């Protein structure tokens, strides 16, 4: 049995604010992925859902929710929740089932509807740190992004203009992406002139929240031959936790770990996320043609260049301004337009990143195609020590 | 009307207020909020953890502000005023803790590396009086501890 797992099909529901049920979006994405793979729903024997916390009980059990919506077919199911990394946990669960020979064709789905404005606490429970951080400190998600951005400015001399250049790049990348919510080119002046949310970040530096859904069909390499889809290899998957002590002030925590007894981890959490997947894949950062990373803020995209290993710490601004992370450069970052053009749909986003990389490696990305793309990586990080990455190769 | 803490047991008040964290009696690892049942150090299997008052002073690791009113359960009242936040590095505990910056501090005066100290201040008021929380206040240059 082959130990090579492939993405055989990818599908999305466009991101936006559509006012519909997350189940409808997920079904649209799932059907698109099935069609892309040339697979019939009856052939799917494992459904792996990424959960949403904002849609009641059906959101907690997405494996069953989407299996029912597509019409019960007796498939085995799993539901995963891991904040922003939920989508890749769902991919990892499906991959493990396929590798073990316990299923043949897996459907992975993530979908969400999100409220306008700040992502807020989902329970009214003072024992939940995600509640208490709003109550006791008023620390929103953008507050943390602001802290990270100011830290970057202090460490590397970055400026607000550097951050704005990320938005300018990503807004151009996403201009013709039919799945992106925001398709408008922004100038540096517009980004710098937008109202400040959490200094040094303005409204155009911080990603919005959106409705959206993404789905994948996964199978073993030899199974793929039975279908018409054009497979792309999943060469590495990472859902690593931090190593103690985690000295990055992760959302929604009040404090980092204490490095009193153990001074520094072997590798920082953010550095470990993508590098773990790259190591499994045997792919060097220099071999990457594209990366889809979580630009929750413009400044965080720059951190990712360094976290992935595209450049040394402090080298990201030069890479950006040299054009190395746009079309024609060494590694195009966020060719989809990234969160800047999508807005975050939490359980769908990590899956959407994999959809984009798969289409790019197949040469199916249309106007936003990265020339000759052969290897790509995704990276994200969210609440409670969750991060994820997938490496795909042609 | 008196004042009451926004959360019980997270900080002490008085002349020299401090955050109440915890410390492992074996390896010395700190935690905030306090965590008395287990130690976070994976190399330590000690379960005797004691409460510990954390250092009152530290240096700014980073800072930011909130120009928009946060969602519930933040209580802003009708007259929301932007506020600053600082993530502060404690030298002894070797950790970073976030809190609001004390009222009346000019945002533009903050800088990474500046020394700050912990104060207890009003967060909001309701029918039962003031609700207080911990905040960081820059230490005036030349001030003694
Ligand atoms: Zn210990």
Please give the structure tokens belonging to residue A94: 């499906």
Of the candidates A134, A147, A262, which has its C-beta nearest B74's C-beta?
A: A134
In a domain, B94, yes or no: yes
Backbone dihedral angles phi then psi of residue A208, each to the nearest 5 degrees: -85, 180
* Minimum distance, in Å, between the CA of residue B142 and any CA atom of chain A: 24
Q: Return per-residue pLDDT of chain A as tens, 394 residues.
A: 568 999 999 999 999 999 999 999 999 999 999 999 999 999 999 999 999 998 999 999 999 999 999 999 999 999 999 999 999 999 999 999 999 999 999 999 999 998 766 667 777 777 888 899 999 999 999 999 999 999 999 999 999 999 999 999 999 999 999 999 999 999 999 999 999 999 999 999 999 999 999 999 999 999 999 999 999 999 999 999 999 999 999 999 999 999 999 998 889 999 999 999 999 999 999 999 999 999 999 999 999 999 999 999 999 999 999 999 999 999 999 999 999 999 999 999 999 999 999 999 999 999 999 999 999 999 999 888 899 999 999 9
Whether B102 and chain A come into contact, CB under 8 Å, resolves to: no
What is the distance in A from the centroid of ligand 1 to the CA of A264?
15
In a domain, B96, yes or no: yes
CB contact under 8 A, A255 and B70: no
Whether B36 and chain A come into contact, CB under 8 Å, resolves to: no
Strand positions, DSSP E, chain A: 5-16, 46-50, 76-80, 105-112, 196-198, 201-202, 211-220, 232-238, 290-293, 332-333, 375-382, 386-393
What is the three-state SS of A287-341? HCCEEEECCCEHHHHHHHHHHHCCCCCCCHHHHHHCCCCCCCCCCEECCCCHHHH
pLDDT at A42: 98
In a domain, A47, yes or no: yes
Whether A158 and chain B come into contact, CB under 8 Å, resolves to: no
* Minimum distance, in Å, between the CA of residue A253 and any CA atom of chain B: 8
Count of domains observed in chain B: 1
- Interface probe with A: pick from B98, B113, B132, most Cβ of A within 10 Å: B98
Question: From CA B23, how far away is CA B32, in angstroms rounded?
Answer: 9
In a domain, A382, yes or no: no
In a domain, A141, yes or no: no
* Chain A residues near residue B30 by CB distance under 8 angstroms: 258, 260
In a domain, A91, yes or no: yes
CB-count exposure of residue B144 (10 Å: 0-12, 13-18, 19+): exposed
- Interface probe with A: pick from B50, B81, B96, B101, most Cβ of A within 10 Å: B96
Q: A319-345 burial string, b = 16+ CB within 10 Å, else e?
A: bbeeebbbeebebbbbbbbbbbbbbbb
* Chain B residues near residue A117 by CB distance under 8 angstroms: 71
Count of domains observed in chain A: 1
SS3 state of residue A4: coil
CB contact under 8 A, A254 and B98: yes
Nearest chain A residue to B107 by CA: give it: A199
* Structural domain boundaries enclosing A107: 5-117+209-224
What is the distance in A from the centroid of ligand 1 to the CA of B45?
6
Whether A121 and chain B come into contact, CB under 8 Å, resolves to: yes
Q: In A, residues 342-381, which contact B (CB 8 Å cutoff)? A: none
Among the ranges given (A171-180, A257-266, B15-24, B100-109), the one the predictor scored with the smallest mean pLDDT: A257-266
Q: B1-25 burial string, b = 16+ CB within 10 Å, else e?
A: eeeebbbeebbeeeeebbbbbbbbe
Closest CA to A70 of A10, A11, A29: A29
In a domain, B31, yes or no: no
In a domain, A134, yes or no: no
In a domain, A98, yes or no: yes
How large is the average pLDDT for residues B131-143?
Answer: 87
Total beta-carbon pairs less than 8 A apart between chain A and chain B: 150
In a domain, A297, yes or no: no
What is the three-state SS of B57-68? EEEEEEEEEECC
Question: From CA A55, how far away is CA A25, in angstroms rounded?
Answer: 13
Among the ranges given (A112-116, B49-53, B56-60, B115-119), the one the predictor scored with the smallest mean pLDDT: A112-116
Whether A140 and chain B come into contact, CB under 8 Å, resolves to: yes
Whether A247 and chain B come into contact, CB under 8 Å, resolves to: yes
B138-to-A83, B17, B32, B104 alpha-carbon distances in Å = 35, 15, 21, 11
Nearest chain A residue to B76 by CA: give it: A138
In a domain, A281, yes or no: no
* Structural domain boundaries enclosing B111: 56-138
Backbone dihedral angles phi then psi of residue A33, each to the nearest 5 degrees: -70, -40
* Chain B residues near residue A254 by CB distance under 8 angstroms: 32-33, 97-98
Q: What is the CATH number of the domain that holds A47?
A: 3.40.47.10
* Minimum distance, in Å, between the CA of residue A308 and any CA atom of chain B: 23
CB contact under 8 A, A138 and B61: no
- The CA-CA-CA angle for residues B7, B13, B18, to 5°, reads 85
Cα Rg for chain A, rounded, in angstroms?
20
């Amino acid at each position: 049995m082959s130990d090579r797992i492939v993405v055989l099909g990818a599908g999305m529901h466009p991101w936006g604010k559509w006012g519909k049920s997350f189940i409808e979006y997920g079904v649209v994405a799932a059907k698109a992925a099935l069609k892309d793979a040339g697979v019939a729903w009856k052939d799917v024997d494992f459904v792996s859902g990424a959960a949403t916390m904002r849609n009641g009980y059906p959101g907690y059990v997405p494996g069953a929710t989407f299996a029912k919506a597509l019409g019960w077919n007796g498939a085995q199911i799993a539901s995963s929740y891991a904040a922003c990394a939920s989508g890749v946990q769902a991919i990892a669960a499906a991959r493990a089932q396929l590798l073990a020979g316990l299923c043949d064709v897996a459907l992975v789905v993530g979908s969400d509807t999100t409220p306008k404005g700040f992502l807020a606490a989902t329970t009214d429970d003072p024992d939940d740190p995600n509640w208490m951080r709003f109550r006791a400190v008023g620390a929103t998600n953008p507050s943390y992004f602001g802290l990270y951005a100011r830290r970057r400015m202090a460490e590397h001399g970055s400026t607000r203009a550097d951050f704005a250049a990320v938005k300018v790049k990503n807004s151009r990348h996403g201009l013709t992406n039919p799945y992106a919510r925001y398709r408008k080119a922004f100038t540096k002046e517009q980004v710098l002139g937008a109202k400040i949310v959490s200094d040094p970040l303005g409204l155009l530096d911080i990603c919005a929240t959106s409705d959206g859904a993404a789905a994948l069909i996964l199978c073993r390499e030899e199974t793929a031959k039975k279908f018409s889809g054009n497979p792309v290899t999943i060469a590495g998957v990472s859902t690593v936790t931090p190593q103690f002590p985690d000295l990055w002030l992760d959302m929604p925590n009040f404090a980092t770990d204490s490095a009193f007894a153990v001074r520094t981890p072997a590798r920082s959490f953010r550095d470990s996320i993508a590098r773990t997947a790259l190591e499994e894949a045997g792919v060097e950062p220099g071999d990457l043609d594209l990366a889809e990373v979580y630009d929750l803020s413009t400044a965080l995209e720059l951190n990712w260049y360094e976290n992935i290993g595209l450049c040394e710490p402090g080298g990201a601004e030069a890479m950006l301004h040299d054009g190395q992370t746009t079309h024609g450069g060494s590694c195009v970052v966020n060719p989809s337009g990234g969160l800047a053009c999508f807005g975050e749909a939490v359980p769908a986003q990590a899956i959407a990143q994999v959809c984009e990389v798969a289409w790019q490696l197949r040469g199916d990305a249309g106007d936003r195609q990265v020339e000759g793309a052969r290897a790509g990586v995704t990276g994200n990080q969210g609440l409670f020590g969750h991060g994820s990455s997938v490496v795909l190769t042609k | 009307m008196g004042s009451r803490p926004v959360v019980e047991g997270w900080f002490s008040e008085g002349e020299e207020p401090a955050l109440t964290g915890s410390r492992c009696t074996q390896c010395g690892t700190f935690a905030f909020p306090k965590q008395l049942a287990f130690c976070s150090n994976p190399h330590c299997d000690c379960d005797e953890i004691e409460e510990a008052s954390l250092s009152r002073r530290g240096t700014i690791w980073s800072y930011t502000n909130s120009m928009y009113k946060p969602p519930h359960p933040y209580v802003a009242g009708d007259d929301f005023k932007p506020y600053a936040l600082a993530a502060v590095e404690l030298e002894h505990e070797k950790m970073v803790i976030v809190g609001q910056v004390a009222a009346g501090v000019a945002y533009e005066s903050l800088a990474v590396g500046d020394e700050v100290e912990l104060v207890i201040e009003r967060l909001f008021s309701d029918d039962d009086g003031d609700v207080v929380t911990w905040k960081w206040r820059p230490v005036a240059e030349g001030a003694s501890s």
